[in-house]
Amino acid sequence: MFQGYWAAVVTPFRHSRVDIAAFERYIATLIEGEIKGIVVCGSTGEALSLTSEERISLIKAAKHMAEGRIPIAAGVITTTTRDASQQAKEAEKSGADALLAITPFYIKPSPEGLYNHFYTLHEATSLPIILYNNPGRTGIDLDLNTLEKLMQLPRLMALKEASPHFTRILSWRRHLRSDFSFMAGDDESAPAFLALGGDGIISVTANIAPKLCTELYNAWINADLGTFASIRDRLAPLHRALFMEPNPCPTKYALSVMGIIRDEVRLPLLPVTEPGQFILRRVLQEGLGLDV
């Protein structure tokens, strides 16, 4: 299940409200682009600005659009174990196929506290879990000793690795279960991550170029290195442009000029600046050939 390109989707808003109609149209474009899975209500989905009711409505809408064709993972992006367990239960009840659970941020728990957090989350539902390690956002970095201990939990199935130390999967892999998947959490380093033995990518770029991202992965799997290198280089400017300002602001702007959603974020995020808009339009025109 946890392989290939997954899209970490944005949450469309319209006059401050979640725009479910736009969200469903947007999900349809990703499915048409042959994305392998979708993460709803993650960091790119502005999870911390969403109410419980909004999260539930987004998971249900994504599940409805997927119609069993691709899996839907729901983000568990919160600080306390109590709230994480509640979000997990709501996600399972709403039809999610998996959870993407971040390490608790701000609190900076001990390794033992981190293990107990994920043990409690594991026991709260029957869903498979993708661990999400993003020390740049959370202030805590998952270590191998803790990960080895977490391997005792049978439904902990994958790791989204968004640290700058992604090369460590080379040494980590031999210590972990053979059915455990490594997913890149950074688009720019994703080609290198695949070469190191990664299984897939939970991607922001896939929101804009789902078909091209899928073709990149397929070229790697089929050992078509010429095609792989060509697509890798074509996507590189887009990766950089989508993170030149806080995520997901550039992605939402790009999707808006493509006519898919409105360019609207919730404070404290702000829309992309005029210089950023110029760069994004140029990248979409020159790199992807879009008329925007």
H or E element: which one contains 99?
A: strand 98-102
The residue from 36, 63, 160, 252 that is catalytic is 160
Q: pLDDT truncated to tens, each residue of the chain (292 aa)?
A: 899 999 999 999 999 999 999 999 999 999 999 999 999 999 999 999 999 999 999 999 999 999 999 999 999 999 999 999 999 999 999 999 999 999 999 999 999 999 999 999 999 999 999 999 999 889 999 999 999 999 999 999 999 999 888 888 888 888 888 899 999 999 999 999 999 999 999 999 999 999 999 999 999 999 999 999 999 999 999 999 999 999 999 999 999 999 999 999 999 999 999 999 999 999 999 988 887 7
Q: Which residues, 6 or more positions from 281, have their beta carbon under 8 angstroms from its beta carbon?
A: 257, 292
Can you name the residues that pair with 184 across neighbouring β-strands?
161, 201
Q: What tokens were used for 67?
A: 């119609």
The pLDDT assigned to 171 comes to: 86
Q: Which CATH superfamily is domain 4-228 in?
A: Aldolase class I (3.20.20.70)
Mutual orientation of helices 210-221 and 225-241 as an angle, nearest 10°? 140
What is the reported pTM? 0.94
Q: 28: closest CA among 188, 210, 152, 257?
A: 210
The residue from 115, 132, 217, 253 that is catalytic is 132
- What is the residue extent of each domain of the chain? 4-228
Does 160 participate in catalysis according to the annotation? yes
